[in-house]
Amino acid sequence: MPTLRSATLSPAPAATPSPTAATPSPAAAGTTPSSAAKRRMTARRAADSPDSPHFTSPHKSPLAGTGNFGAPKMLSASPKSSRKRLYGDLVPAERPKWNPRDPAQMQAVKEALHVATTPSCGLVCRDDEQRRVFEFCKACVQQERAGSLYVCGCPGTGKTLSISKVKQSVSRWADEMGMETPDDLSINCTNLGNTSDIFGKVRKKASGKLSPLQQLQRMFSHKESAPRRMLLVVVDEMDYLITRDRAVLHDLFMLTTHQFSRCILIGIANAIDLADRFLPKLESLNCKPLVITFRAYSKDQISNIINHRL
């Protein structure tokens, strides 16, 4: 009668075996399994191997976590979903695409690039010019002395906006230093009915028989009548005075030459060559102003301005 071990390992058919085949020798039963048993054991080992495509063991491979070697392959529904899972946290929010046929976008661009629009990002590419104007005004306020400055450049080069920024910087600096903030006055020459009216705007409280110009001259000539605060006067569109009435222009700059004058005069003009027409005369009158020229923007500066505005 066959033993239980031999019946388990034997691939014999269901028919009753012969006594000779049913009783194996002790050596064969204890050490050497049959060929069918070897095949089953080999298949079982292959299924349990980590390299097998059907590997389902809950234990990790010894090479897992050291790279891509030995790690199970991840199945993805589609390449797009895998990209989204990989780069979803890195890709920034997409901006709306530029469409030149969109009326709303075109209107926004026109408003941002209009010359009358004050850029919210501040004035760019004019840091050096603003610094020079600020240092000039700062020195005049510290030393309590008058001075004149002539700013020239082509239209649209940021002259008026730069001077406006400098006025704010001077007032803020004076407050921080504990000094008296200078009074400021802005005059556009194109709004003058008569060129001599500019002196009436400087001397707002003109009275008596003397003209506003004569009162200013007398006020800056005596210490008792001189104002206590510095006066920052910005005269824009000075080309109007240069071409219409140079005598008024000369008298205006000469206000800064009086002994007790507190006037800081900044003139702004568009044409660069106009300085050569009246500066020699001002130099002969000992009232030649400091000249700061705003050059035309370069290609890189224009690109920088557009990027900041948009």
For the cut 90, the answer to whether the pLDDT of residue 34 exceeds it is: no
Cβ atoms within 10 Å of 18's Cβ, excluding its own: 8
Taking each helix axis from N to C end, the angle separating 103-113 and 299-309, rounded to the nearest 10 degrees, works out to 120
- pLDDT band at 198; cut points 50, 70, 90: very high
Amino acid at 64: A
Helix (H) or strand (E) holding 233: strand 231-236
Write down the residue that tokens 């209107």 correspond to.
Answer: 107
Amino acid at 112: A
- pLDDT band at 299; cut points 50, 70, 90: very high
Instruction: Encode pLDDT of 90-139 as tens digits.
Output: 444 556 788 888 899 899 888 888 877 777 767 889 999 999 999 999 99
Stretch 264-270: mean pLDDT, rounded?
A: 95
Helix (H) or strand (E) holding 283: helix 275-284
- What residues does each domain of the chain span? 127-309
Amino acid at 211: S
Amino acid at 33: P
What per-residue confidence (pLDDT) applies to 179? Answer: 93
Stretch 183-190: mean pLDDT, rounded?
A: 94
Mean pLDDT of the chain: 77
Higher pLDDT, 31 or 129: 129
For the cut 90, the answer to whether the pLDDT of residue 70 exceeds it is: no
Residue of 282, 25, 226, 265 lying closest to 136 (CA atoms): 265
For the cut 70, the answer to whether the pLDDT of residue 294 exceeds it is: yes
Residue 287 CA to residue 155 CA, distance in Å, equals 26
The phi, psi pair for 148, rounded to 5°, reads -130, 145
For the cut 70, the answer to whether the pLDDT of residue 196 exceeds it is: yes
Which 3 state secondary structure label does DSSP give 267? strand
Residue of 266, 185, 162, 262 lying closest to 216 (CA atoms): 262
Looking at domain 127-309, its CATH architecture is: 3-Layer(aba) Sandwich (3.40)
Q: Residues 287, 252: contact at Cβ < 8 Å?
A: no
Gyration radius of the chain over CA positions? 46
What per-residue confidence (pLDDT) applies to 111? Answer: 87
Write down the residue that tokens 């009158």 correspond to.
Answer: 285
Query: Does the global pTM surpass 0.75?
Result: no
Stretch 55-80: mean pLDDT, rounded?
A: 45
Residue 102 CA to residue 79 CA, distance in Å, equals 34
User: If you ran DSSP here, which 8-state letter would residue 119 be given?
Assistant: P
Lowest-pLDDT range, 41-45, 147-151, 155-159? Answer: 41-45
What per-residue confidence (pLDDT) applies to 114? Answer: 82
For the cut 90, the answer to whether the pLDDT of residue 160 exceeds it is: yes
Instruction: Encode pLDDT of 271-284 as tens digits.
Output: 777 667 788 888 88
Residue 159 CA to residue 109 CA, distance in Å, equals 23
Q: Number of C-alpha atoms within 13 angstroms, CB side, residue 310?
A: 14
The phi, psi pair for 97, rounded to 5°, reads -70, 140
Residue of 197, 190, 172, 192 lying closest to 182 (CA atoms): 172
Amino acid at 34: S
The phi, psi pair for 290, rounded to 5°, reads -75, 135
Question: Strands 290-294 and 183-188, how do they pair?
Answer: unpaired
Q: Residues 244, 275: contact at Cβ < 8 Å?
A: no
Residue 31 CA to residue 29 CA, distance in Å, equals 6
